[in-house]
Chain A
Amino acid sequence: MTPFPLTLTDFLGHWGSYIVYLLIGFAFGFVLEISGFGNSKKLAAQFYFKDLTVLKVMFTAIVTAMILIFLATALGLLDYNMIWVNPTYLWPGIVGGLIMGVGFIVGGFCPGTSLVAAATLKLDGLFFTLGAFFGIFLFGETVGLFEDFFNSSYMGRYTLPEMLGLPTGIVVLGITIMALLIFYGGEMVEKIVGNKTAPSERPRWRFAAAGGLVALAAVVLVIGQPTTEDRWEWIADEQEALLAQREVQIHPGELLEKMYDKRLNLILLDVRDEAEYNLFHLLDARHVPLADIKAQTDDLRGEPANTLTVVMSNGEEDATEAWKILVAESVPNVYILEGGINGWIDTFASAEFKAAQSPADASRDQLVYSFSSALGSRYSFARPPLHEFELEYTPKVKMKAKSGPTSGGCG
């Protein structure tokens, strides 16, 4: 089981967990200040090629953090699924970025650095901060006018390795080398334009640091990022026990009750063949073949905290396979329909329907009932009335608090 990120609210409470964020913010502000980011002249010099501090600090930070993050995920210490990756809204991001570029060169700061400048009594930082508040206010008042654009070109959680079709390790190593080349070029430019010839500005240790970063990036590449199978292996002992004790298989009666529970966001995943799904499925069940389950995990993790996911096949075998994938990929609150669709029909179909059947032998995950027409969820027992059935079962669903961030970035 990957121990990080921590679910801070578990041991610090809701508001208590914010102390950690306060400390992180403190460290962030402190580092920005000692890097000279509270000084607008130093920031603006970036854009006249005189002093590339902004470029060096930013890219060094990104590369360092990137390598450490993907090293931690490769080693199974950190769950990449549980960290916030800014969703891509391509064009609003680019247009917003261009507007920010204008603000940067005119005002001399970005929002974070202006706070540091204001905190160290720089009056230009204070005016910039006030301006930023005004701009944010203006945005809140005007975003309604271009809501469509604001929400356009949405690509979800979309990463560079996915876009390039390359393993994460290659991308990490590539970005590291690219950054080092940019630093090399940047130092050349500084020498020419900024007359920076002082050797103290170019200490020897920076070659060692660059070598260290490349070496670590190479380690990330060699270890590789965990596959779904690796992730299952890490948790297999614990989870196989739950399966064996039947802690995660819920009775049809419990599922029916959940179908009527308006406080829940219930997601039903039917992993059978399309033909079987067309013959009969539960009301609002989505057809997701076993092979496509993994592609659903990003979306499922993005669902709200009150989401309960139930997977089903004819019996339990395929549903159990799907369950393993979902659990390995950190989807919370996933259960298996006990007895599958066969069990459901057995429990809820009318006596007449069952009387007309000669149930086949359920060998391996086969549909034992036959249907004369493919009515899908238009059978009455696709969602039978809740109170017509007196069923006894042990409720097993325990909704767990969602770990991992639902909103991040600058949300």
Chain B
Amino acid sequence: MATQSVPREARSSSWLRRAAKPYVHPYVGGILLGIVLFLAFFITGNGLGASGGMNRLLVVVEDAIVPDHVDTTPYLLEMAGGDRNPLDSWVVFVTIGVVIGGFTSGWLHGRLKVETNRGPRVPIRLRWVMAFVGGAFMGYGARLARGCTSGQALSGGAVLSVGSWAFMFAVFGGAYALAYFVRKLWN
């Protein structure tokens, strides 16, 4: 029966370095994500979010370094003015949960690996620069739109907000419009 034995490699994966498993089928992922989103609304009345939590975590740092500036900027004042605690918001905890959940899944499924995903012809440093630049656009746009893909598109979309649907088409529209011009980044 030796021919039937499991390859040694797969069996001996240590608790830290597991064999990478494939991603779930997109529709399975979508249904699971939909159930999570539903439960969020059902239990708490709030949807999901990410950029709002990042915003508040950032404001904690700003408030520690330049409290006077925070107290005189209306947009920041709402979150951290005077004795307000920017961490005192549900979205901060969702955001922290996302990081822990992502890490746990990556670890369980053997995808916890230091790497840089990039197009085949893109130097690694260019990819980092582009990631930073893209992130800056994303962060800026997300705050202007009052929510990111999670807080606006997913959450607002599921509860049929008109603005969220318009937003969703704008995101896809913007990305598709530019995709051709940056095709060398990914292909």
Contact = CB atoms under 8 A, between A and B. Distances in A.
A159 B161 contact: yes
A408 B89 CA distance: 9
Contacts of B130: 106-108
A35 B128 CA distance: 23
A131 B139 contact: yes
Interface in B1-37: 23-27, 29-37
Contacts of A29: 97-105
Contact of A111 (B32, B40, B100, B148): B148
Contacts of A106: 130, 133-134, 137, 178, 182, 185
Interface string B160-172: 1111111111111
A213 to B, nearest CB: 9
A115 B170 contact: no
Given A24-B48, A97-B167, A35 B33 contact: yes
Contact of A68 (B38, B127, B182): B38
A112 B150 contact: yes
B162 A158 contact: yes
Contact of A47 (B103, B158, B176): B176
Contacts of B158: 61-62, 65-66, 69
Interface residues of A, number: 138
Interface string A94-106: 1111111111111
Given A101-B172, A143-B75, A158-B161, A5 B43 contact: yes
Contacts of B51: 111-112, 132, 136, 410
Interface string A127-148: 1111111111111110110010
B84 interface: no
Interface of A: 4-6, 8, 17-36, 38-42, 44-48, 52-53, 56-66, 68-69, 72, 77-78, 80, 82-90, 92-125, 127-141, 143-144, 147, 150, 155, 157-163, 168, 171-172, 183, 201, 203, 206, 209, 403-405, 408-411
Nearest to B39: A24
Nearest to A202: B25
Most buried by A among B109, B112, B130, B168: B130
